[in-house]
Amino acid sequence: MSGCEARDAKKLVRSPSGLRMVPEHRSARSPFGLDEPPWVPDKECPRCMQCDTKFDFITRKHHCRRCGKCFCDKCCSKKVPLPRMCFVDPVRQCAECALISQKETEFYDKQLKVLMNGATFFVTLGTSDKPELMVCRLSNNQRYLVLDGDSHYEIEIIQISTVQILTEGFTPGGGNTRAIGMMLQYKVPGSEELMQMKFTAGEDLSCNKKLSASWLAAMHKATKLLYESRDQ
């Protein structure tokens, strides 16, 4: 096993919430991941935290695996995939959390694959006025943004501080806009210096505009998840 494979190795663990397939090393966890929440202690929740039904021998309490709060079966009956916490199977969640998790599952099923497949952009580093045509993609372990052209860059996702999607075609109603690029700021490891990169979709026919727009939309969603993970 190579060094990279060893760092990315995973193990199966059992928690009160269910089976999870997690990285053996915490440093190898996905930057989009979330930690399991602590469960509200049973003695602190005599009633459902949604409908206020009193728990008794017949009405049992259940904990939402995403928020850790106590609910009755009616308010916490849905079992939904929760990939951000690495659960192997769908887990019980309250209605509010289930809705959020269902939206995130679309990101993991579709947009994450778009990011990993990559797209082609003209990339301008810092204050340079010479853009370079590069293929940009998310690494398979989700921890790096990899840029390949005449030059090669690997930007650690957790070092990215801001992402601004650039659009064109703005209308007063806010419709008919399309993503044409992005501005990215990230920290250089070992320093507090911020570097800036500009990504622009190519106008020539060799660059697939639709693919570039899909990649930028997926990156926008990924950024939202990244910020949520940091705020946890």
Does residue 5 belong to any structural domain of this protein?
no
**Number of CB atoms found within 10 A of residue 83's CB:** 17
Q: Kindly indicate the confidence band of residue 2, based on its pLDDT and cuts at 50, 70 and 90.
A: very low
pLDDT at 204: 59
Interatomic CA distance for residues 88 and 70, integer angstroms: 22
Residue 70 inside a domain? The answer is yes
The answer to whether residues 94 and 76 touch, using CB atoms and an 8 Å cutoff, is yes
Q: Do residue 123 and residue 222 come from a single domain?
A: yes
Give 26's contacts (C-beta < 8 A, 6+ positions apart): none
Both 225 and 183 in one domain: the answer is yes
Same domain? For 110 and 124 the reply is no
pLDDT at 59 > cutoff 80: yes
Q: Do 86 and 122 share a domain, yes or no?
A: no
Reported as a single tens digit per residue, the pLDDT across 128-153 is 888 999 999 999 989 999 999 999 99
Domain-ending residue, one of 114, 133, 154: 114
Question: What CA–CA distances, in Å, run from 139 to 66, 152, 181?
Answer: 26, 13, 20
Report how far residue 95's alpha carbon sits from residue 168's, in angstroms, rounded to the nearest whole number.
37
Q: In this structure, how many other beta carbons lie within 10 angstroms of the beta carbon of residue 97?
A: 23
Query: pTM score > 0.85 for this model?
Result: no
Per-residue model confidence (pLDDT) at position 129: 80
Whether residues 135 and 218 fall in one domain: yes
Same domain? 127 vs 215: yes
Which residue range is the domain that position 28 belongs to? 10-114
221 and 145 within one domain: yes
- pLDDT single digits (tens) 199-232: 998 765 455 778 888 999 999 999 989 888 877 6
Give the dihedral of Cα atoms 95, 115, 164, 126; nearest 10 deg. 150
Q: Does residue 3 lie within any of the structural domains? A: no
Question: Percent of the chain at pLDDT above 70?
Answer: 91
Q: What is the pLDDT of residue 69?
A: 96
CATH number at residue 138: 2.30.29.160
Answer whether residue 1 is part of any domain: no
Total structural domains in the chain?
Answer: 2
Residue 2 lies in a domain: no
- Residue 174: pLDDT above 60? no
The pLDDT score that the predictor gives to residue 3 is 42
Closest CA to 115 of 184, 31, 216, 186: 216
Question: Whole-number mean pLDDT of the chain?
Answer: 87
In this structure, the answer to whether residues 102 and 41 fall within a common structural domain is: yes
